[in-house]
Amino acid sequence: MTRFIKHARHGAVLALLLIIAACAPFSLVPASTNDVANFRVDADIAWNKVNQLRLESSAPLAYWTVDGPSLNGMLFIGGVKDGQPVVKVQGDTTKDNALIFRNGMTATEIVELWEATTAKISQTTIAKGSNIEGATFGGTSGFKFDFHYVTKDEVDRSGIGYATVKDGRLYLIFFSGTKLHHYPARLASAKRIIESARITG
């Protein structure tokens, strides 16, 4: 396990959607009701908010972790507008209209978009969604999906996403972590947050 943790930490710079500035400060998220990125959620344990993400989105964005940003974490994306990328690396000036959300996309197409976005940001070829099915999310009809990806640090990571399109905007919460330990260890707490989520903005 020590070797595993070392590998995972070594790969911090390449972890999914988690591009953090050096010396990024964290702030405590208490085990209570919290407002985050256009969601109101109930946390049953304390989390840590990463304050300086090196990702950007047209929508409010937040990232929480329990054990460390390269080990597990939950990304909140609160309402991506039609024609905008779901998320991208800050300062990425690529003239790229390929990875954008379009109102009217099906769940299948949104998961395809998430696969391609993950592949680009994490510089990986192994990024696959599965088990897409309808689910209530954010107090409305949405869907959920499982996810598997391998970052360039060669660590297998698992993820679970819940999403919905409301008023033409995409709302997504995605929890992921190292497959062997940090994903299963915090999945229950992550799910409680996701299932409690209400859309506020």
Partner 1 sequence: MIASARRAPSRRHVLRGLCACSLVGLTACNATTGNEPPLAAGYRPSAGTDEGGLWHSVEKIERETARSRYRIRDAELNRYLEEIITRLSPEFHADMRVYLLRTPYFNASMYPNGMMNVWTGLMLRAKDEAQLAAVLGHEIGHYTQRHSLSRFRDAKARNDFSVFLNMGLAAAGVGAVGNLTNLMLVAGMFAYSREHEREADDVGVTLMTKAGYRPMAASEIWQQLIDESEADKDRRSQSLMFASHPAEQERMATLKAKAEQLGNGGEGFADRYREKIRSIRFMMLEDELRLRQYDRSLVLIQRLQKETPGDGELIYCEAEIYRLREGKDDLKLAETTYERSVQAANPPPQAWRSLGLIQRRDGRHDAAVQSFRKYLDLRPDAEDRAIITSYMEKAA
Where along the sequence are the contacts to partner 1 (CB under 8 A)?
12-14, 19-22, 54, 89-91, 94-96, 98-99, 102, 104, 106-109, 112, 115-116, 119-121, 123, 125-127, 130-134, 143, 150, 152, 154, 156
Exposure of 29 in the CB half-sphere (CA atoms within 13 A): 24
* Shortest distance (Å) from residue 103 CB to partner 1: 11
* Shortest distance (Å) from residue 183 CB to partner 1: 16
What are the E-state strand segments in the chain?
Answer: 26-29, 33-36, 39-42, 47-50, 55-56, 61-65, 72-80, 84-85, 88-89, 100-101, 127-137, 140-150, 156-166, 169-178, 198-199
Nearer to partner 1, 38 or 151 (CB): 151
* Shortest distance (Å) from residue 196 CB to partner 1: 23
Match 């000036």 to its residue by tokens: 93
Nearer to partner 1, 44 or 112 (CB): 112
Burial class (CB in 10 A: 0-12, 13-18, 19+), 192: middle
* Shortest distance (Å) from residue 45 CB to partner 1: 26
Nearer to partner 1, 181 or 198 (CB): 181
Nearer to partner 1, 102 or 181 (CB): 102
Residues 91/101, Cβ–Cβ less than 8 Å? no
